[in-house]
Chains A and B, each alone.
Chain A
Amino acid sequence: MNNLTKPLLTVRNLKTYFKLDEGMVKAVDGVDFDVFPGQVVGIVGESGCGKSVTIKSALRIVEKPGEIVDGEILYHPQKNADANDGPVDLVTLKAHGKKMRDIRGNEIALIPQEPMAAFSPVHTIGNQLIEAVRLHQKVNKKQAFDIAVQALHEVGMPNPERRMGAYSWELSGGLRQRAMIAMALTCNPSLLIADEPTTAIDVTTQAQVLNLLRSLQERHNMSIIFITHDLGVIAQVADFVVVMYLGRVMETGTVDDIFHNPQHPYTKALLESIPTVHSPSKELLPTIEGSIPHPFNRPAGCPFYPRCADFMAGVCDKRTPSLQKINDKQSVSCFLHHDKAEEDEAA
């Protein structure tokens, strides 16, 4: 992406911890990334790597006992009067306060993982869409109804007027997710956060939903943060990729760099474990050795070192590498790529 435009969202050293009776779970432990206007950023990682908590932190909807303990989330408001006042640090806002609520849904909208559970079963789709419209726009019920129908129409919902009176459980999985996307669109947000939006639906519908998101992104010139554990999905939708492991960013780069020129041993291992049409059928797929450590006893140093093929004793298990640029598009958090001088300076 070009560096001349200012980022819409900047996350720096974000730390979100969950204080449990059994100990502290560092779900997000120092995450950095940027989202530029009009960019689709894919965050990829295994279950429990902190990708959902990262975006919940950005929306300030992390549930107790989770808490943002450090870092900044700078957002450039695009809509309200202080749009020119520069970025707002969302971490400093009150989670349920008016300012944060004006941003949630209005500037940054969420598409959840399970549309079935995210809609109330006893309220109609229309009721919930109109509510979303009227939370942020000063319009009457009739106008709100029209905006909602327009949004349903835009996401390709057949018979949008009639669907306004339907309940979520009366729709198919794909239509339900379309209704969710419509709800996110009603306020024309600048940033759309999609939290594994295609996990709960079947593969053919998945492709339709992905195409829809891509085309909506182009039409509205929105930015999208797309969270998934599916590298195939990332390859289809993302411009820029953030690879996460155990609450930390391992590597960032453009989608081409990540897929064709991965630098971090974790990224490489992930890509090797994807089956391709060329892989010999009788052979086992390479897997990543070991399993994800339990959140209570995370390794000291680099979180990936116990499973890493390039583990360097005395280095990786002693100190934690930081995310460093290796060229103007790609950053890696690994001692293999750390400049020796910088490393000593950091230590």
Chain B
Amino acid sequence: MLLYVIKRLLLLPLLVIIFSMFAFFIIQAPPGDFVTSYIAELAASGSSIDQAQIDGLRSLYGLDQPIYVQYLKWMGRIITGDLGVSLDWQRPIAELIGERLLLTVLLGIFTFLFTWALAIPIGILSATKQYSFIDYFFTVVNYFGVSTPTFMTALVLMWLAFSKFGISITGLFSAEYVDAPWTYDRVVDMLKHMWLPMVILGLDGTARLARVMRANLLDELKKPYMEMARAKGMSEWRLVMKYPVRLALNPLVSTIGWYLPLIFSGSVIVATVLNLPTIGPMLLRSLTNQDMFLAGSIILIYGFLAIIGTLISDILLVWLDPRIRMEES
């Protein structure tokens, strides 16, 4: 087990390097560069810029050099902890995404916990009481959850809150705390705002996860070990929780890996609609403006999260399922 974890940790840097190459390639892929779109922007507003200035900008950011040199320079800076400067915002990237990243991760974790805390019990109830009223009830609710786009839910809730109660539920902070330094009161204020985006973002995932849990558990409930556990004289709930639930959870654990980055990237529209100070809308803007270093940094962080998520789920899976443990050693 320990050996397996060490092996996986040793692979980590290699994965990150490969991923960083992809990230860099992707942000380089669209035709033109930041300067091109900067010129277009200037032209649109009526002003212009001369060739010397353009060349100056290009060499300043190293845009005139071959792609691998650009990549190596970029990686070199990142290794020393310098994410570079946003071309668009003209501010250091670390400073730009620092708080947004923290808020995004917090929101992601809350959403994740909310999803699992709700979906697993619903799945268990639906499966153990298959074709009962409660099962049909959750089936209907789940289909609503899966089929309603999250931004739609967000819009409807915003409209309801505003038209019925006259409150605005956008953002993660009250007006007086938006730019305030971190204090206890600001954390409390954030938690007061956090639950709504958490619920909106979590509904879709909850519905999906509950359906998967139900299906997995229904498969397990038919297994002979159930009959055996009953024949031993175990009470029904105890045996359901000990054997089939445990086995039905295993495949779900392996989904944590892609779930983490999905929350961050999937929330772009909702975050835009709800005006959340998270990283999604910033990525969108950096991509449309070809703000390559900012976009690259964010994509790199997404990738890193995906890799960490996969690592966590793999370790959990090995810990949970002795059959996989056996294969690994």
Interface residues of A, Cβ cutoff 8 Å to B: 56, 59, 61, 63, 96, 101-106, 109-110, 112-114, 117-123, 131-132, 135-136, 167, 169-170, 183
Q: A105-B234, A121-B323, A123-B242 are in contact. List 13 more A-B contacts (CB 8 A).
A: A63-B227, A102-B233, A106-B233, A110-B228, A117-B223, A118-B224, A120-B242, A120-B246, A122-B320, A122-B323, A131-B232, A135-B234, A136-B233
B230 touches A104 (CB 8 A): yes
Chain B residues near A131 (CB, 8 Å)? 232, 234
Please tell me which one of the listed residues B223, B235, B250, B326 contacts residue A101 in the complex, with CB atoms under 8 A apart: B235
A118/B232 contact (C-beta < 8 A), A167-B322, A169-B323 known:
no
Q: How big is the B interface, by class?
A: 20 to 34
B232 touches A135 (CB 8 A): yes
A96 touches B228 (CB 8 A): no
- Considering the chains assembled together, what is the distance between the CA atoms of A207 and B145 in angstroms? 57
- Considering the chains assembled together, what is the distance between the CA atoms of A29 and B295 in angstroms? 73
Q: Which of B116-164 contact A (CB under 8 A)?
A: none
B323 touches A101 (CB 8 A): no
B232 touches A105 (CB 8 A): yes
- Considering the chains assembled together, what is the distance between the CA atoms of A136 and B323 in angstroms? 30
Please tell me which one of the listed residues A59, A61, A63, A119 contacts residue B225 in the complex, with CB atoms under 8 A apart: A119
- Considering the chains assembled together, what is the distance between the CA atoms of A59 and B229 in angstroms? 12
Count of CB-CB pairs between chains A and B under 8 Å: 73
B323 touches A104 (CB 8 A): no
Residue of B whose beta carbon sits closest to that of A56? B227
Residue of B whose beta carbon sits closest to that of A107? B233
The answer to whether the Cβ of B4 comes within 8 Å of any Cβ in the partner chain is no
A118 touches B228 (CB 8 A): yes
A119/B232 contact (C-beta < 8 A), A167-B322, A169-B323 known:
no
The answer to whether the Cβ of B231 comes within 8 Å of any Cβ in the partner chain is yes
- Smallest CB–CB gap between B289 and chain A, Å? 51
Chain A residues near B89 (CB, 8 Å)? none
- Considering the chains assembled together, what is the distance between the CA atoms of A131 and B234 in angstroms? 9
A118/B247 contact (C-beta < 8 A), A135-B232, A183-B232 known:
no
- Smallest CB–CB gap between B31 and chain A, Å? 53
The answer to whether the Cβ of B68 comes within 8 Å of any Cβ in the partner chain is no
The answer to whether the Cβ of B61 comes within 8 Å of any Cβ in the partner chain is no
The answer to whether the Cβ of B321 comes within 8 Å of any Cβ in the partner chain is yes
Which of B229, B231, B322 has the most CB atoms of chain A within a 10 A radius of its CB?
A: B231
Residue of B whose beta carbon sits closest to that of A121? B323
B247 touches A122 (CB 8 A): yes
Chain A residues near B322 (CB, 8 Å)? 121-122, 167
Chain A residues near B234 (CB, 8 Å)? 101, 105, 131, 135
Chain B residues near A170 (CB, 8 Å)? 326
The answer to whether the Cβ of B243 comes within 8 Å of any Cβ in the partner chain is yes
Q: Which of B203-244 contact A (CB under 8 A)?
A: 223-225, 227-236, 242-243
Chain B residues near A101 (CB, 8 Å)? 233-235
- Smallest CB–CB gap between A65 and chain B, Å? 11
Shortest 4 CB-CB contacts between residues of A and residues of B: A105-B233, A110-B231, A105-B232, A117-B224
A114 touches B232 (CB 8 A): no
B233 touches A118 (CB 8 A): no
Q: Which of B78-116 contact A (CB under 8 A)?
A: none
Chain B residues near A96 (CB, 8 Å)? 235-236
A118/B235 contact (C-beta < 8 A), A61-B230, A104-B230, A169-B323 known:
no
A-B contact pairs, 30 of them (CB 8 A): A56-B227, A59-B231, A61-B231, A63-B227, A96-B235, A101-B235, A103-B233, A104-B233, A105-B232, A105-B233, A112-B224, A112-B227, A113-B224, A117-B223, A117-B224, A118-B224, A118-B227, A118-B228, A120-B229, A121-B322, A122-B247, A122-B250, A122-B323, A123-B242, A131-B232, A131-B234, A135-B234, A136-B233, A167-B323, A167-B326
A122 touches B235 (CB 8 A): no
Which of B225, B242, B321, B326 has the most CB atoms of chain A within a 10 A radius of its CB?
A: B225
Residue of A whose beta carbon sits closest to that of B130? A64
- Smallest CB–CB gap between B248 and chain A, Å? 11
B235 touches A120 (CB 8 A): no
Which of A96, A122, A123, A135 has the most CB atoms of chain B within a 10 A radius of its CB?
A: A122
- Considering the chains assembled together, what is the distance between the CA atoms of A170 and B131 in angstroms? 37
- Considering the chains assembled together, what is the distance between the CA atoms of A63 and B243 in angstroms? 17
- Smallest CB–CB gap between A100 and chain B, Å? 8
Chain B residues near A112 (CB, 8 Å)? 224, 227-228, 231
Chain B residues near A63 (CB, 8 Å)? 227
Please tell me which one of the listed residues B223, B231, B320 contacts residue A109 in the complex, with CB atoms under 8 A apart: B231
Chain B residues near A183 (CB, 8 Å)? 232
Residue of A whose beta carbon sits closest to that of B236? A96
B233 touches A135 (CB 8 A): yes
Chain B residues near A118 (CB, 8 Å)? 224-225, 227-228
- Smallest CB–CB gap between B221 and chain A, Å? 9
- Considering the chains assembled together, what is the distance between the CA atoms of A313 and B32 in angstroms? 95
Which of B223, B232, B246, B250 has the most CB atoms of chain A within a 10 A radius of its CB?
A: B232
